[in-house]
Amino acid sequence: MVSIVIWTVIFLFIVQLCLLGALVVSKIQNLKEEKLISRYVEEYEEPFFHYLERETEECPDLPRDIRDRVLIVEQLLNRFVDQTRVEIEYTRLQETAHTYLARSYRLFLKNGSWAQRVNTLYYIEDFDMVDLKQEVWQYFNRLSVLDEEYRQAVRVLASFQDERVIRVLLDTETIPQRLVKQVLRRFKDDLFQQMVMVIEDEPGRVPSQVHLAVVAYCGERGSLDDLPFIERMLQFPSKEIRLKALRSLMELKACTDPEKLTRFYLSDIWEERMYAAKIAGRLKWESAQDPLLKLAGDSHWWVRYAACEAMKNLPDGHRLLEYTYNHHEDKFARSMARQHLTVKVGEAI
């Protein structure tokens, strides 16, 4: 037994030593390569940026090694996209990406590792490589697992304004709301309006997560053109849709008629009462003083919090909060008003 154990341990030790040797050698090589690439990136940054900004028509001569060249161009373009504060001139960026990266990216999408494919998709979007749209679509159709690779492929297609994504959204019951919103953020107005129209015309056909995402996104995008659509959603039987509509109204800071919110102050659903209070505060509705005073003594902490926060936003908010602190019949309302008299909340946070 002893000899078996001794030989096993010696064998494992030798394996470890070989592994250590291999790792150290590969680390030395990697560090060398990283240094080389970062030296190139520093060296080429200025002339390359001049070229991208059209200050010169001559693209600097890059190293001949294709692997190095792809890495250098990738880093330079990425740095350019991240650093440039002004409007990026995408045509030159696209041309450059097409010249140096498109061929390699086609290969990566076909034969690369998972991480390499996902990285490639990030860069295809960042560099707006719309010439690869068809390749990405074909590649997307091969994906079945809803992981980061799938999500990024959908995002890329959405950023290329590919209408086929709408069909994907409508046909995928399990699509997450967050991903739908990421798609909507990338859509230009015409594609977004197509989504709204589908909801208006055939609400039963739309997966619930897509419906919720569209209503929620209306608030985020901040266009008053969507106000009638959102207000119609307030009448929707689904509680989740109504809550999203209320939230969107709050974000839009708009509502055509304060009367539309009256029933929500009295709703059995605490989230609806909370949003109603928040909207009243955002819109500085003096007419909402009475409901807010009532909601300050609500049974739910968040509703009390929202009511007192809303009071603070009203033109005479400080006085109203002091009144609540001194005279409200509910001790929790008094306590909440006291906190809001001292805490800085709202826009500052």
Residues lying near other proteins in the complex (CB under 8 A): 1-2, 5-6, 9, 12-13, 16, 19-20, 23-24, 27-28, 30-31, 113-116, 118-119, 122-123, 126, 148, 151, 155, 176-178, 181-182, 220, 301, 305, 332, 335-336, 338-339, 341-344, 348-349
Token pair 């307030």 is found at: 234
Shortest distance in whole angstroms from residue 126 CB to other proteins: 8
Q: Residues 287, 317: contact at Cβ < 8 Å? A: no
Smaller CB separation from other proteins, 59 or 321: 321
Question: How many angstroms separate the CA atoms of 232 and 221, rounded?
Answer: 18
Smaller CB separation from other proteins, 104 or 182: 182
Shortest distance in whole angstroms from residue 333 CB to other proteins: 10
The length of the chain, given as a count of residues: 349
Smaller CB separation from other proteins, 51 or 127: 127
Other Cβ atoms less than 10 A from the Cβ of 126: the count is 18
Q: Residues 68, 84: contact at Cβ < 8 Å? A: no
Smaller CB separation from other proteins, 176 or 315: 176
Question: How many angstroms separate the CA atoms of 295 and 276, rounded?
Answer: 10
Smaller CB separation from other proteins, 86 or 349: 349
Q: Residues 282, 313: contact at Cβ < 8 Å? A: yes
Smaller CB separation from other proteins, 94 or 116: 116
Smaller CB separation from other proteins, 60 or 88: 88
Shortest distance in whole angstroms from residue 50 CB to other proteins: 25
> Residues 6 or more apart from 137 whose CB is under 8 A from it?
157, 162, 164
Shortest distance in whole angstroms from residue 23 CB to other proteins: 5
Q: Which amino acid is at 249?
A: L
Shortest distance in whole angstroms from residue 58 CB to other proteins: 30
Shortest distance in whole angstroms from residue 217 CB to other proteins: 9
Tokens of 173: 């019951």
Within 13 A of 45's CA, how many CA atoms are on the CB side? 13
Other Cβ atoms less than 10 A from the Cβ of 253: the count is 13
Shortest distance in whole angstroms from residue 337 CB to other proteins: 8
Question: How many angstroms separate the CA atoms of 133 and 39, rounded?
Answer: 33
